[in-house]
Amino acid sequence: MKKRLFVLFMAAVMAVGLMTGCGSGGGGSSAENGELNVFVWTEYVPDAVFDKFEEETGIKVNVMTYSSNEDMLSKVKSESEGTYDVVLPSDYMIQLMIEQDMLEELDKEALTNLSNIGEAYLNPSYDPGNVYSVPYQGGVAAIAVNTSMVDKEITSYGDLFDPDLAGELVVLDDYRAVIGMTARSMGYSMNETDSAKLEEIKEKLLTLKNNVKLYDSDSPKSALISGDCAAGMVWSAEIALSMEENPDIQVVFPEEGPYVFMDNWAILKGSKNFENAMKFINFMLDSETAQMVSEEFPYLCPNEAAVEAMGAEYSENQAKNPPADVIAAGEYVENLDNDTLEIYNDMWTKLKE
């Protein structure tokens, strides 16, 4: 009887051991290694990337998404500190969050893969020395044109205001991008603050209303691929994906110079999983990870090691990898004072009424 009980006991111990080993990935179970709360843009980070990180580290990743920088900021402020660990703001939003003491300083010693990032993308004006952030992906808001549906030449943001395009456009659901596009079409800055010029911009902006069929920042490629919209002002990578599905679609870089952006990884103040957040950011800086990202979401990749590995298919595709002169001719969004932002918000509200 004692022998039988001993055998049953050993079998139970072995079963527990097997269960403990299952699903541990490369670094132990998620119960042992904790978790990570990541707040990112919709349609921007492949699920396979999160899966790979979980498998390699045993850290459980909880993913939440947003559609604009402003949505992200509002949500973070409305939640208790520590709700999110890692966020993915754009350039100007990084600067604002630094000013509002919302970000943790990064542990540079933990970022062993930072050397993969090209020098041109380090030490940005919005975060000198990359104290609080490191680049993820960037690009421009370019023009998409379905040449089988549009019989006129389009070369500029200004051309999108043509009444012949009534009900034909998909544009970003992003007030700084669309108002900025309008300002650029008039020879003004995307960051204009002069009240008289803003009144002029407002008048022209409202003439765009009849042309816009859809506001979409998440997946504007869908309307382009289906033919629901003939043209639009959308993210460059969305145009690249559209071109793969529909060869009639072309990318046009506006002659005024485009809206340029760079999105960045950062850690929120009060993160409850700081070490795991650092591991995740370093993982995202790995060249193989960056290549996985670019293959699914082909934006401008600042990871030089990944660009080299992807070869000509990526580097020579201008929609995926906008030329340096296009980037140089463009303009980044900057933070504006609250009074000016109220004017911008009022413009946006009237456009979408």
**Domain residue ranges in the chain:** 26-138+261-322, 139-260+326-352
This prediction has a pTM of 0.85
- Average pLDDT over the chain, rounded to an integer: 92
Question: Which backbone phi and psi does 46 adopt, to 5 degrees?
Answer: -60, 140
Average pLDDT over residues 231-246: 97
The pLDDT, as a whole number, for residue 33 is 85
Name residue, tokens 């957040």: 277
pLDDT at 11 over 50: no
pLDDT at 3 over 70: no
Inter-CA distances, 201 with 159, 187, 255, 344, Å: 15, 10, 18, 10
Query: Is there a contact between 40 and 268 (Cβ–Cβ < 8 Å)?
Result: no
The fourth-level CATH superfamily of domain 139-260+326-352 is: Periplasmic binding protein-like II (3.40.190.10)
DSSP string, 80-125: PTTS-SEE--BHHHHHHHHHTT-BPPP-GGG-TTGGGB-GGGSS-T
SS3 264: strand
Among 12-21, 98-107, 115-124, 321-330, which is the least confidently predicted range? 12-21
Query: Is there a contact between 89 and 330 (Cβ–Cβ < 8 Å)?
Result: no
Tokens of 160: 């999108």
Percent of the chain with pLDDT over 70: 91
pLDDT at 10 over 70: no
Q: Residue 236 carries which DSSP code? A: H
Average pLDDT over residues 116-133: 96
CA Rg value for the chain: 23
Same fold, 26-138+261-322 and 139-260+326-352: yes
The vertex-244 CA angle with 171 and 217, nearest 5°, equals 20
The pLDDT, as a whole number, for residue 92 is 96
Q: What is the pLDDT of residues 270-317, one digit of tens each?
A: 999 999 999 999 999 999 999 999 999 999 999 999 999 999 999 999
pLDDT at 159 over 80: yes
How far apart CA 289 and CA 287 sit, in angstroms, is: 5
The pLDDT, as a whole number, for residue 128 is 97
Residue 204 CB neighbours (<10 A): 15
| The three-state (H, E, C) secondary structure of 14-32, written as one string | HHHHHHHHCCCCCCCCHHH
pLDDT at 100 over 70: yes
pLDDT class of 250 with cuts at 50, 70, 90 = very high
The fourth-level CATH superfamily of domain 26-138+261-322 is: Periplasmic binding protein-like II (3.40.190.10)
The vertex-93 CA angle with 170 and 348, nearest 5°, equals 40
pLDDT at 147 over 70: yes
How far apart CA 63 and CA 42 sit, in angstroms, is: 10
SS3 298: coil
The pLDDT, as a whole number, for residue 7 is 41
